Structure 1
Amino acid sequence: MNETPGGRHDYLLSFEGIRQDFTARGGNAVRAIDDITLNVVRGETLGIVGESGCGKSTLARAAMLLRKPTDGRIIFDDTVVTDLRGAALRKQRMRMQMVFQDPNDSLDPRYRIDRSIMEPLLAGGRPRGEARRDMESALVSAGLDPEVASRHPHEFSGGQRQRIAIARAIAAHPEFIVLDEPTSALDVSIQAQILNLLARLQREENLTYMFISHNLAVVRHLATRVAVMYLGRIVEVGTTEEVFGNPQHPYTKALLSAVPDPNRPATPIVLDGDLPSPRQRYTGCAFASRCWLATDACRTAKPTLDDHTDSQGAHLSACHHADRVSEDLVPALAG
């Protein structure tokens, strides 16, 4: 990881004790994010992985300040951005952009491409002439001819629309981009092109990415570090090499067991049952009901993220039995 001369990690974004509650039907409270503390290092790609419903997209939207957290704070480049309002918040959002799974979430079908890209720039106070130059430059950087600016989204393929959505994000000259499943709706061949584009733009524009995905193979290709989420909590975080090569949480091991790997036989771990309801409250580990290593301690004491490696860069796991995860065990729930 990068560090400042004083020895402190050069964090661009930090979540500190973030909790996000929603009210479901019947007035029941749903905790989508549960006490997350996590840092994003300047210049890295932090992958966020986990099953559907684990809170990945909620965390992404919290990072983008699209919804104020129920509790905790978010710090961006030493500024507590959860305290910002009005013009200060709008200015901050120019430094942070998002690319969605479906490009139609950021491209209004009624608008020409130039309007879709320029509108947030103009709203942020950029002069029209400068906004147009930035729009055209962003299209070129995304691998498109500036002449497409006069056309509408429906005239393009899915891959081209995603390139336009990426151009819309980089036109603002941000420092940080949240990528929420940006390739999952595309054909495999197009996915590779978009991933290569994102990697090139990161190098050229000095961008920091938070990459949300359920596709571990894609995350392994792009991410510098990986954070694994389960039921609104971070259960493991570390460098991509450490997490994929030496998982320290049973849930991570189960996820990775389903990813094809020529270096090991295919022995997927089949977890018993579905993801528990986020409406439930747990005194212990939320994964205990599906874990083959669970003991009474797991059901009564909430594990904390602790360091389980002596290698360079912290490798943290919230598991009472992290030392047993890497053992060559055949889980009782294996299929």
Structure 2
Amino acid sequence: MTNLNEIKKYLDDCENPLILFDDDSDGLASFLLLYKYMERGRGIVVTHNILDESYVKKVEEYKPDLVVVLDKHKIEQDFVDKVNVPIIWIDHHPLVKINGVKYFNPKIYGKKDLPTSYWCYEITKENLWISTVGVIADHSLENLREFSKNYKDLVNYNIKEPFDALFNTKIGTLAKLFTFILKGNASEVKKCINILTRVNNPYEILNKTTPRGKYIYERFEKINREYQRILQDALKNSISTKNILLYTYYAKEMSLSQILSNELIYKFKDKVIIVARQKDDRIRMSLRTHYKSKVILPPLVKKAIEGLKGTSGGHDHACGGDIDKEDFKTFVDRLEHLIKK
């Protein structure tokens, strides 16, 4: 384990850092905060559920003097063992045991479970707007009052519900934008991330005041049109049981499950939401319960998936999973039964 001051020293002293970050808004915001602070290095989106040995090649290609991992819930020991430079891991998921990593997780110190982008801001103390985007996207209102002092038109600090901020404010629009621009063609995603490293304030994007801001916003609008189509289909065609709202869709190129499950739990607070995206022979799931719900997902999902060809992980009220399509119905039936208990 390590603390934020030690991490800051590593960031200040390194010359060629490689930042590996999760493929969601919190991960992207965390990367942008550290990259803008250091003004050097390279970032790579980790699209695998776990940071595994396959990413060792990226490290060997780039030859960094420091590897920073942001917002990934698990790192394989094989990855760590094959990387010969210091590894810093900043995360807020359930604690894991791993050797050879300088590991910061607020749970180690009994601190509040806040998004990784919050902790990255605590290191850099720069670009609060980027941190707020990541924090809101990860269902928190931390630092909202401080942010609203300079950006009164983007959010009302009197908001009490994280999803109200996400779905009914301009800073929430940016949180969705950060999610959406990580979708689709890899080269397009990389281009958008590179552009974001040069964006200096939220108005460049929201008001399209610069060519780079306009480009980012127009890409968001394109993906948002597809998202709105899927959302309307989910509202019409989801299967509802006593405890579960289930929506299944097919998409080869782009997953919109995380933001869709968030919006569905915002609209159906008393349900367990399962958004299931089928790709080939696998079902990739995004599960949600309302943050005030007594239904805690990880132990239930773990029990329901036991003995099936699948994996799962996540937070109390937001989980992800991957399962063989032949086992999916069994999983849903088990989960329904477990919730009833």
TM (norm. structure 1) is: 0.30
Name whichever structure is richer in helix by fraction: 2
TM (norm. structure 2) is: 0.29
Higher relative contact order (CA 8 A, sep 6+): 1
